[in-house]
Amino acid sequence: MTDDFEGLARDLKVAFARGTGEPWTEEVFDAWATRIFSYQFESNAVYGAYSSKRGGTPSTVRHWHEVPPVPAAAFKALPLISGDPELVQRVFRTSGTTRGREGRGQHHVLDLDLYRASLLPNMRRHLYGGGASLPLFALVPDPLVASDSSLSFMLGEALATLSDGKGAFFVDEGGQMEREGLRQGLRETTSKEQPVVVAGTAASLVHWLDWMTEVGERFELPPGSRIMDTGGLKGRSRTLSRPDLYRQLSAAHGVPLENIVNEYGMTELLSQYYEVSAPESAGTDLEDRRHVAPPWLRVRVLDPITLEDVPAGQPGLLCHYDLANAGSVMAVLTEDLGFEDAAGLRVLGRVAGAEPRGCSLAMDALLSKGESR
Amino acid sequence: MTPFDAFLLPPGCERPPVYEVLELPGGASIRYPVLPADQCESLLSGLEDAGEALGRTPVRSLSRSIGRVADRLLDPADPLRAEALEMLAPTAGISPEMADSVLAGMACDWTRERLDELLDREFGSVDVLDAFQPRDGGRMVRARGPAISFHVGSGTVPGVGVTSMIRALLVKSAVLLKPGQGDVALPVLFARALREEMAELSHAVAVVYWPGGETELETMALERAPVVVAYGGDDAIRSLRARTPVTTRLVTYHHRVGVGLVGREALGSDRGSGVARAAAYAVSMFDQRGCVSPHVLYVEEGGQVDPMEWAGVLWNAMAELEVELPVGRLHPEDASAVHQVRGVAEMREASGTGTRAFHSDPGFATVIFESEPDFVVSCLSRVVYVKPISDLVEVPAVLKGVERHLQTVALEGSGDRRPALAEALARLGVTRITPFQEVPWPPPWWHHDGASVFAGLVRWIDSEETPSYSSTCSSTRHNTI
């Protein structure tokens, strides 16, 4: 007997509510994952047919590793809904560039409460030091104006719940940063000795740092303050390595390196990873850091050529199994590279060549009718 | 494995103090020098001097010497061929079988016979490359290459660098070649062998790989060389164009794509298996990285086999060819792109939109049948789209929007519609129409992207000793003095 979405989501919320601290055993995760696979196989005809073609059906899948993943690009190609499309509460869209004819990725979310149940405890643990309701200064647009941004949604939920409504969004609808407002906010919180969470994309943080340098601003945020960055650093006006970004963020805000945390997430997943320091490194050695998932999110690292699991410590493509994706598709094969060892997952970034290869490249700009400028 | 030295500096050049090593997928690595400014300077002046000396060498003796190296590369008993084959596969990321095919296909166009034919076709009398020659009336003409030309190769189509080098040497230009990352082996080995053939050539060729751009050597070479020849993606070409002086002749071969057209006349009694084999070859050669490689095949409805069925026939042919000519060691991002594209195609197939995905694991050969006619850029590595079209004459209209990047059109089975179709494709902007089998191997005298391969390399000098009063224009003008 297969689940209905409502019952499945209710059970998942109960499971997520047990918190992120205690890891789940392989058996517990496997039971959940195979249950969700059976549900998705039955309720999502497209995914069911796709899985069958790849040899994965509820009767053949013995272990969550055997659940066929969909490519992340599939979110750009068609709606991935496991359940009643009429009940979709929100469609989140990827912000990235469009690739050829394919548009932005879309994640149809059937139950925003399930999304909240996944993101909030995880965020509380990694960004709020487990408890205190720190104000949140978000360098992204307000979810009210960017209702299709999953990052804005996450930070909006955090602000409302984990920050008790304290804080603000400092990027307007048009993508302009309200730098004076942010400066004022940080000055006030500093004078009140109130620690804060500053969260933004790596690109917005670089932009903010550039402005601080320009106007000669610098903060000494109260102890306990944290900075969260997310997203890539490529293709921006100024290219900065992550260690350099962290050092500059640390120096400009008076926040120790161990309190600067990377979030690894994507619109296609309703659960996120946060980067933590190895206990012995005190957060100063960024190479030692690992991305940690909540118990309901697991990863396989796959050989880019064969898609077989690689041995521990070897780099490969990251394939995520996110139970919070119960209403869409749980297993997602990304184009991100990383490796997993005893300490955890280390994300190495998007696969990319050192230089373009082939005089005939699959190039995004090709269809832009000749020279783009 | 010892890194392959992705450079060859002329004899007498000082040993560079610093080297870098670049790891390639599959365990191979290449080593390249980082030249300080003073060494760049002496390298470039040395090449300029050698170019002057080369200018005094008869063109036929150049084609003879170059041709001898080609003969060696084609001779199964020659150690040069063995070394080329050994180095080509790991450095280019292609399979040994593909390396064999690529070397054979490329080197046969570098033989003396082919080069002399190229020169004859392009210059008429090649003597114009050696001295002024009378042409008509009192006019003398001469064709000269620059003393030095700078060549920037692209990616992983091995052979492009040597071809560019040869074109320049034939017009007596010394060459600084920066090969593409996957095309380092052949130019280094070729240049080394040239030294043994002819003293004049030993100082006239330098091959140096470096990743990215804007190194000291690149900046200086762009400033110094009167002619720059560049192959690469649009971004790479844009960057070079921005950094090249206005007085420099810049010959560019930017990003290009190919398509194939299969008409009903080719889909007859053999159910299109003959044309499928040829198309499989065109797609699979160079693992589809050539500017000539097809991305989309338009297949006409109304033949004995329908386009979707033919897609399966094509995939069988590609899968068979993958056994014979295996795919190389792909970069992670290329392999990843194939997995994403295949997965999306399978999801579309599952959603019942008329898409069919033909592939198998392991193996990279993939055929995606889609009913929408719009052009799609393939992720390459042997992934090709098949699209049905009710009549081939509709294809030029469908390709509107890609015409500036379109180069080769493989055309078969169009019957007596061919002349009209060729005319329409020419109007669109296509520069080559050819059968599938010929797609990977344009002859040396092809109009590469629409122009003579020497067009940007040589300067023509007209010398008129006496006024040509015979012409109506001249007499009219002079009467007014």
- Eight-state DSSP code of residue A353: -
**Partners of B23 in beta bridges:** B29
Residue-wise pLDDT tens digits, B466-480: 766 566 676 667 666
Per-residue confidence (pLDDT) for residue B137, from 0 to 100: 74
Interface contact flag, B335 A304, Cβ < 8 Å: yes
Interface contact flag, B377 A362, Cβ < 8 Å: yes
DSSP A180-236: HHHHHHHHHHHHTT---EEEEEHHHHHHHHHHHHHHT----PPTT-EEEEES--TTS
* Number of Cβ within a 10 Å radius of residue A297: 24
Nearest CA to B341 out of B385, B311, B374 is that of B385
Query: How does the average pLDDT of chain B come out, rounded?
Result: 94
Interface contact flag, B181 A363, Cβ < 8 Å: no
Per-residue confidence (pLDDT) for residue B155, from 0 to 100: 72
* Dihedral angle, C-alpha B40, B45, B51, B52, nearest 10 °: 180
Interface contact flag, B155 A359, Cβ < 8 Å: yes
Per-residue confidence (pLDDT) for residue A155, from 0 to 100: 98
Per-residue confidence (pLDDT) for residue A239, from 0 to 100: 64
- Contact status of A360 with chain B (Cβ, < 8 Å): yes
Domain annotation for chain B: domains and CATH numbers: 4-255+451-463 (3.40.605.10), 257-438 (3.40.309.10)
Give yes or no for a contact between B208 and B25, defined as CB atoms under 8 angstroms apart: no
DSSP B308-342: HHHHHHHHHHHHHHHHHS------HHHHHHHHHHH
Q: Collect all residues of chain B within an 8 Å Cβ-Cβ radius of residue A307.
A: 339, 361
Question: Would the CA dihedral through B276, B280, B283, B285 be positive or negative?
Answer: negative
**Pick from A76, A304, A366: CB nearest B402:** A366
Per-residue confidence (pLDDT) for residue A363, from 0 to 100: 38
Question: Would the CA dihedral through A132, A135, A136, A137 be positive or negative?
Answer: negative
**Partners of A273 in beta bridges:** A264
Q: Which residue has the higher pLDDT, A333 or B156?
A: A333
Q: Taking the model in full, what pTM does it have?
A: 0.92
- With a cut of 90, say whether residue B213 has pLDDT above it: no
CA A195 to each of CA A72, A128, A180: distance values in angstroms, whole numbers, following the listed order: 37, 10, 19
Interface contact flag, A71 B256, Cβ < 8 Å: no
Give yes or no for a contact between A163 and A132, defined as CB atoms under 8 angstroms apart: no
Chain B residue whose CA is closest to A101: B376
Per-residue confidence (pLDDT) for residue A357, from 0 to 100: 36
- With a cut of 50, say whether residue B449 has pLDDT above it: yes
Per-residue confidence (pLDDT) for residue B470, from 0 to 100: 60
Residue-wise pLDDT tens digits, B14-58: 888 899 999 998 889 999 999 999 999 999 999 999 999 999 999
Chain B residue whose CA is closest to A307: B339
Per-residue confidence (pLDDT) for residue A281, from 0 to 100: 58
Per-residue pLDDT of chain A in tens (373 residues, 90 and over written 9): 578 999 999 999 999 999 998 899 999 999 999 999 999 999 999 999 999 999 999 999 999 999 999 999 999 999 999 999 999 999 999 875 544 456 789 999 999 999 999 999 999 999 998 677 999 999 999 999 999 999 999 999 999 999 999 999 999 988 899 999 999 999 999 999 999 999 999 999 999 999 999 999 999 999 999 999 998 765 444 667 888 999 999 999 999 999 999 999 999 999 999 998 766 556 567 878 899 999 999 999 999 999 999 999 999 999 999 999 999 999 999 999 999 998 889 998 877 543 333 333 333 334 333 222 2
Portion 74-133 of A in contact with B at CB < 8 A? 74, 76-78, 100-101
Cβ contacts of residue B110 below 8 Å, gap of 6+? Answer: B66, B67, B69, B70, B73, B162, B163, B166
- Eight-state DSSP code of residue A99: B
Give yes or no for a contact between B59 and B121, defined as CB atoms under 8 angstroms apart: no
Q: Collect all residues of chain B within an 8 Å Cβ-Cβ radius of residue A356.
A: 154-155, 232-233, 235-236
Q: How far apart are CA A232 and CA A242, in angstroms?
A: 9
**Partners of A91 in beta bridges:** A108
Chain A residue whose CA is closest to B401: A369
Give yes or no for a contact between B377 and A362, defined as CB atoms under 8 angstroms apart: yes
Read off the pLDDT band of B200 (50, 70, 90).
confident
Interface contact flag, A354 B181, Cβ < 8 Å: yes
Chain A residue whose CA is closest to B213: A355
Per-residue confidence (pLDDT) for residue A282, from 0 to 100: 60
Portion 201-240 of A in contact with B at CB < 8 A? none
Nearest CA to B412 out of B312, B281, B320, B319 is that of B281
**Residue type, position A152, single letter:** S
Q: How far apart are CA A290 and CA A341, in angstroms?
A: 9
Interface contact flag, B402 A367, Cβ < 8 Å: yes
Q: Collect all residues of chain B within an 8 Å Cβ-Cβ radius of residue A338.
A: none
Per-residue confidence (pLDDT) for residue A101, from 0 to 100: 54
Per-residue confidence (pLDDT) for residue B212, from 0 to 100: 78
Q: Collect all residues of chain A within an 8 Å Cβ-Cβ radius of residue B181.
A: 354-355, 357
Distance from CA of A11 to the nearest CA of B (A): 29
Per-residue confidence (pLDDT) for residue B206, from 0 to 100: 98
Give yes or no for a contact between A335 and A351, defined as CB atoms under 8 angstroms apart: yes
Interface contact flag, A47 B350, Cβ < 8 Å: yes
- Eight-state DSSP code of residue A310: P
Q: Which residue has the higher pLDDT, B260 or A22?
A: B260
Per-residue confidence (pLDDT) for residue B149, from 0 to 100: 98
**Residue type, position A350, single letter:** R
Residue A361 tokens, joined: 């490249």
- Size of the A and B interface in Cβ pairs below 8 Å: 165
Interface contact flag, B211 A354, Cβ < 8 Å: yes
**Pick from B292, B295, B348: CB nearest A78:** B348
Distance from CA of A44 to the nearest CA of B (A): 10
Lowest-confidence region among A342-351, B138-147, B217-226, B341-350: A342-351
- With a cut of 80, say whether residue B267 has pLDDT above it: yes
Nearest CA to A132 out of A195, A189, A219, A221 is that of A195
Instruction: Give the residue from B291, B336, B405 with the most A CB atoms within 10 Å of its CB, the best one to mutate.
Output: B336
